[in-house]
Amino acid sequence: MTRVTLIRGDGIGPEIMEAAASLVEATGAPIEWEEHPAGASAIAEHSTPLPAETLASIKKNKVAFKAPLMTPVGGGYRSVNVLARQELDLYANVRPARVFEGVKTHFDKCDLVVVRENTQGLYAGIEHYLDPKKETAQAIALVTHYASDRIIRFAFEYARANGRKKVTLVHKANILKFTSGLFLRVGQEIAEEYPDIVFEDRIVDAMAMQLVMFPERFDVIVTTNLFGDILSDLTAGLVGGLGLAPSGNYGEDTAIFEAIHGTAPDIAGRGISNPTALTLSGAMMLHHLGYHEEGKRLEAAVRGVIAEGKHLTPDLKGSATTTEFTQAVRARL
Ligand code: NAI
C-alpha cells in the first residue's frame, strides 16, 4: 500500500476531493489515504491554517493529494499553498495543458507543459513597507543560480522522460537584466548539456501573444515564479479553463498534486463543481508513484466522458451534478 496525505480543503474542495479520491481508488492502485486538515477549515480546531501534523504527514508520506484552500485577500494569514511549497521545498510546479476532445476552444492543437519555478522570484512573498504610514511598499525578486539551475534542469529532464522535443525559457532579461538575466544565462548553459532537446527563449510579453496565436509551436515552457503563475492560467484557458487544469508540485523527494483553480465559493455546496482538474491531478500522482497504467486509464476515462458530452457539469455547458459526472468516469474505468 502507498500511503498518501489527503487534504479536503475549503469551498468546493470536499466535494471534488470526494469524487477525485474515489476515482483514484477505482483504478485499483493500492493507495491508502491519511487525511489531515488545512486551510480555513483547519483554523477552528487547530488555530492555524497549516497544522504541524498535516505538514509532518506530508513529510513522512512524501506525497499529498490536496483540494483548494481559501486564502484571505490583502491581509490575514499567508497563503498556505505558498507556505507549504516553501516548507517542503517543492520547487517545480508542472502544469500540462492539452486540448480536450468535446471542449470547444479557439485551438485544435495545443499540447504543452508549463514548468514554473515555485520558490523564488517576485512571488516569494519577501515584501514590506518602507515607511510607518504604509505608503511605500517594496517586494524583492530573489533569483539564485542554484534554484534556476535545478528548475531548468527539471524542465529538460521532464522533456526527455516524456518524449518532448523542445524547451522554451521565458524571461524579461531585456529589462530585468540581473534577475531575469541570470535565469536566462543559466538556461543557455544547461541547454548545451541537452543536445537532443531544442532550446529557445522568449521575452514574457511576446510569449503571451504567441501563446494565444500559435500554441501548437510550444512544448515544454520553463519560467520564473510570477511569469509561470500568469502564463499557466493563460495556457489553462487555451484548453478549456481552470476547471480542467491539473498540476503537480515537485521537490527532491516530495510532491503535492492539486487542481489549479481555487475554492469556487460562488458554487460551493451546490454539488455542481467539476472534479476534472483534481482527478487529472490524481492521474499525475499515479504516474509519479509509478502506477503508470492506472494513471493513463484514469486520464482516458475522464477525457472519454468529456468527449462523449452527455455528463458534463455546468461550467462545461452541461447539466450533470458532480456525482453524475463521477459515476460516468467510474463506469468507464
Ligand atoms: P476560483 O478558481 O475559486 O474560481 C474562479 C471561477 O471558476 C468561479 O466562477 C468558480 O465557480 C469557477 N470554478 C473554479 N473551479 C471550478 C470547478 N472545479 N468547477 C466549476 N467551476 C469552477 O478563483 P477565485 O474565486 O479567485 O478564488 C477563490 C478562493 O480560492 C480564494 O480564497 C483563493 O485564494 C483560493 N485559491 C486557492 C488555490 C489553491 O488552493 N491551490 C488556487 C487559487 C485560488
pLDDT tens track for 284-306? 999 999 999 999 999 999 999 99
Active site includes 131? no
Catalytic (active site) residue 129: no
Lowest model confidence (mean pLDDT) among 75-89, 157-171, 214-228, 264-278: 75-89
Residue 82 pLDDT: 80
Average pLDDT over residues 226-232: 95
Radius of gyration for the alpha carbons in the chain, expressed in angstroms and rounded = 20
Cell of 251: 521537490
User: What was the pLDDT predicted at 328?
Assistant: 98
CA 70 to ligand 1: nearest atom? 32
Marked catalytic residue, from 129, 205, 310, 317: 205
Residue of the nearest CA to atom 32 in ligand 1? Answer: 70
Among protein residues, the one whose CA lies closest to atom 27 of ligand 1? 262
Model pTM? Answer: 0.93
In 217-256, which positions are buried (b, 16+ CB within 10 angstroms) versus exposed (e)?
A: ebbbbbbbbbbbbebbbbbbbbbbbbbbbbbbbbbeebbb
- 91 classed as catalytic: no
Pocket of ligand 1 (CB under 6 A): 12, 16, 68-71, 81, 242-243, 258, 261-267, 273-274, 277, 315
111 φ/ψ angles, rounded to the nearest 5 degrees: -150, 85
Given the residues 158, 172, 219, 315, select the one marked as catalytic: 172
SS3 string, the chain, reads: CEEEEEECCCCCHHHHHHHHHHHHHHCCCCEEEEECCCCHHHHHHHCCCCCHHHHHHHHHHCEEEECCCCCCCCCCCCCHHHHHHHHCCCCEEEEEEECCCCCCCCCCCCEEEEEEECCCEHHHCCEEECCCCCCCEEECCECCHHHHHHHHHHHHHHHHHCCCCEEEEEECCCCCCCHHHHHHHHHHHHHCCCCCCEEEEEEHHHHHHHHHHCHHHCCEEEECHHHHHHHHHHHHHHCCCHHHCEEEEECCCCEEEEECCCCCCCCCCCCCCCCHHHHHHHHHHHHHCCCHHHHHHHHHHHHHHHHHCCCCCHHHCCCCCHHHHHHHHHHHC
Determine the atom of ligand 1 nearest the C-alpha atom of 79.
34
Q: What is the pLDDT of residues 185-200, one digit of tens each?
A: 999 999 999 999 999 9
What pLDDT shows up at residue 282? 98
**Ligand 1 atom 12, closest CA:** 264
Mean pLDDT for all residues in the chain: 95
Atom number of ligand 1 nearest to Cα 80: 40
Q: What is the pLDDT of residue 32?
A: 98
Q: Is 123 a catalytic residue?
A: yes
What pLDDT was estimated at residue 74? Answer: 67
Distance 261 CA to ligand 1 centre (A): 4
pLDDT tens, 119-135? 899 887 789 999 999 99
The HSE-up count of residue 31 (CA atoms within 13 Å, CB side) is 30
Please give the single-letter amino acid code of residue 68.
P
What is the residue with the minimal CA distance to atom 43 of ligand 1? Answer: 262
Residue 86, pLDDT above cutoff 90: no
Between the CA of 184 and the centroid of ligand 1 the distance, in Å, is 32
Report, as an integer, the average pLDDT of 14-22: 98
What percentage of the chain reaches a pLDDT higher than 90? 88
Q: Which residue's CA lies nearest to atom 34 of ligand 1?
A: 71
CA 311–ligand 1 middle distance (angstroms): 22
In the prediction, which pLDDT does 71 show? 83
What pLDDT sits at residue 75? Answer: 67
Beta-strand pair 198-203/166-171: parallel
Catalytic residue among 91, 123, 158, 291: 123
Q: What is the rounded average pLDDT of the residues 14-25?
A: 98
Average pLDDT rounded to a whole number, residues 225-243: 93
Among 10, 201, 219, 229, the one annotated catalytic = 229
**Which domains are present in the chain?**
1-103+239-333 (3.40.718.10), 106-110+121-224 (3.40.50)
Which residue's C-alpha comes closest to atom 13 of ligand 1? 264
